[in-house]
Amino acid sequence: MVGRIVMPLLLAVETGVSRPDRVSMTPWPALALVAVVLPRAKAVFLGVIWAAGSPGSARG
């Protein structure tokens, strides 16, 4: 989801604005880090909820 929203915006900005290379290259590593860490953080979070035995919204 992040890539489908952020990448087109980032590419639009990169092609429309002329800046120094070091300023232009700053968002790329941060975006890559988010793309790598976010799914794993979500899995850890859901694993902790499951291991704790938290009740869901469907009670029966």
pLDDT digits (tens, 9 = 90+) for 28-56: 788 778 888 988 999 999 999 889 888 87
User: Is the overall model pTM greater than 0.75, yes or no?
Assistant: no
**What is the average pLDDT value for the chain, to the nearest integer?**
81
Cα 27 to Cα 32: distance, rounded to the nearest angstrom: 9
H helices within the chain, ranges in order? Answer: 2-16, 21-24, 27-52
- The CA distances from residue 20 to 1, 27, 48, in Å, are 29, 13, 43
Structure tokens at 15: 């092609």
pLDDT of 57 over the 60 cut? yes
